Amino acid sequence: MHLFRAASIALIGVLAGCATTEPTGKNPVIPSAATASQLRPGDSLTVAIIGVPDPSTNSVQIDDQGIISLPYIGTIKASGQTAGGLTHLIREAYVTKKIYTSVDISVSVTERYVYVGGEVEKPGRIIWTPDLTAAKAVQAAGGFTLYAKEDKVSVVRNQVLYYVDIKLAQKSPSQDPKLEPGDSIQISRSAF
């Protein structure tokens, strides 16, 4: 009987040592990018050229260098502009190159993205919404794989790296940082 009790106490001690602990601490405050209205690489746009003999609607995506390409005028630097500022640049390019003497341009953002990679079920880009947080982005990417390091997730914004504990974010929503378009999340593999 004493042997059984000793074995039971030892087993309870081992199991207690394996218990998960509540995350403690705080996640970093990630400073906001310049402005949410500025266009970034990866943004999808619709550029409507109207009030001309051959009106068109062009779906374009800002490339990694911040450039878009449009008929007759070629490339234009779009990254860092607002939709209104880009509208003005496009109009000026068509008039300066004497393609049109008068043209109406409309620029609208159709989709913006964040990127999730590493140890998630479906790595790739996620459509950004104003309420998207780090934990929600992981969920949208299918959740963590079995080997994910959930307590040290990398978030990159404006080429600065921040580490976020997603376990803490799930337990305390105030510790779940909001994401901005163009953010990149990378989940590394745990040692175990």
> 81 Cβ partners below 8 Å, 6+ apart?
38, 39, 89
Q: What is 113-192's CATH number, 1.10.260.40, 3.10.560.10, 1.10.3210.10, 3.10.129.10?
A: 3.10.560.10
Domain segments of the chain as ranges: 44-111, 113-192
Is 3.30.1950.10 the CATH classification of the domain at 44-111?
Answer: yes
- One-letter amino acid for residue 72 of the chain: Y
Average pLDDT over residues 170-191: 91
Count the neighbouring beta carbons within 10 Å of the beta carbon of residue 64: 8
pLDDT for res 35: 63
Please report which confidence band the pLDDT of residue 16 belongs to, taking 50, 70 and 90 as the band edges: very low
- What is the Cα–Cα distance from 141 to 178, expressed in whole angstroms? 16
**Cα 119–Cα 133–Cα 40 angle in degrees, nearest 5:** 90
- What is the Cα–Cα distance from 34 to 157, expressed in whole angstroms? 11
pLDDT for res 3: 43
pLDDT for res 164: 95
CA distances from 129 to 9, 41, 74, 161 (A): 51, 16, 30, 21
pLDDT for res 139: 96
pLDDT for res 191: 78
70-90 burial string, b = 16+ CB within 10 Å, else e? beebeebebbebebeebbebb
pLDDT for res 21: 38
Comparing 19-23, 34-38, 87-91, 121-125, the range with the smallest average pLDDT is: 19-23
Q: Is the model's pTM score more than 0.85? A: no
DSSP state of 148: B
Higher-confidence residue of 28 and 10: namely: 28
Please report which confidence band the pLDDT of residue 111 belongs to, taking 50, 70 and 90 as the band edges: confident
pLDDT above 50: residue 33: yes
Tokens of 72: 């007759």
pLDDT above 60: residue 101: yes
- Evaluate whether 42 touches 113 at the Cβ level (below 8 Å): yes
